[in-house]
């Protein structure tokens, strides 16, 4: 069985990193964008990160420009925006496609393990979230409209198991 730890991804600075580095942590994977109606969720995501990071939780944010071209910037612009506008301190990764022929393999895996509404595999918009357990298993998929603060209970439960 494939787990999230079988994948490598690129950081926002283009360094390849194995997700095995996050083994044993509870992870929230999110496809993000700087010019989206859901962009203010960065505030809630940062609050979750600060609240739980010392308990073994992290957020992995993947910028994506597939939905309304709402992440047009390059790596430096994205890093600057996240830092200056939302004081983001959780890990940012290179811009990826989450659907289609060039989709990031990690997202293909996440969608297979946690399909969306009515079994749909496609990610419909920015700020779709996937909660990953300590063993690399996908616990739950959240819609873009699901606010970060609404994930507290699920994150706490995953951290305690």
Sequence-distant (6+) residues with CB within 8 A of 44 are 147, 148, 149
Beta-carbon count within 10 A of 51 CB: 14
Are 66 and 103 spatial neighbours (Cβ–Cβ below 8 Å)? no
Task: Identify the pLDDT of residue 1.
Answer: 59
Overall domain count for the chain: 1
Q: Residue 29: what pLDDT?
A: 98
Question: pLDDT, tens digit, for every residue of 65-105?
Answer: 999 999 988 999 999 999 999 999 999 999 999 999 999 99
Q: What is the pLDDT of residue 121?
A: 83
SS3 for 54-108, per residue? HHCEEEEEEECCCCCCCCCCCHHHHHHHHHHHHCCCCCEECCCECCCCCECHHHH
Residue ranges of the chain with per-residue pLDDT less than 50: none
Residue 126 has a pLDDT of: 96
Domain span at residue 92 reads 4-160
Residue 157, H or E segment: helix 152-160
What is the CATH classification number for the domain harbouring 13? 3.40.30.10
Q: Where in the sequence numbering do the catalytic residues fall?
A: 36
The single-letter DSSP state of residue 11 is B
């Amino acid at each position: 069985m494939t787990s999230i730890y079988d994948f490598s991804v690129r950081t926002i600075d283009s360094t390849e990193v194995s997700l095995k580095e996050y083994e044993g942590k509870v992870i929230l994977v999110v496809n993000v964008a700087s010019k989206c109606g859901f962009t203010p969720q960065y505030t809630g995501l940062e609050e979750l990160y600060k609240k739980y990071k010392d308990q073994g939780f992290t957020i992995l944010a993947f910028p994506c420009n597939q939905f309304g071209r709402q992440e047009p910037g390059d790596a430096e612009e994205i890093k600057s925006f996240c830092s200056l506008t939302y004081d983001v301190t959780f890990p940012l990764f290179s811009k990826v496609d989450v659907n289609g022929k060039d989709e990031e393999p990690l997202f293909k895996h996440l969608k297979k393990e946690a399909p969306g509404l009515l079994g749909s595999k496609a990610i419909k918009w920015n700020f779709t979230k996937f909660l990953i357990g300590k063993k690399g298993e996908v616990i739950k998929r959240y819609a873009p409209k699901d606010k970060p603060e609404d994930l507290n209970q699920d994150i706490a439960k995953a951290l305690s198991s």
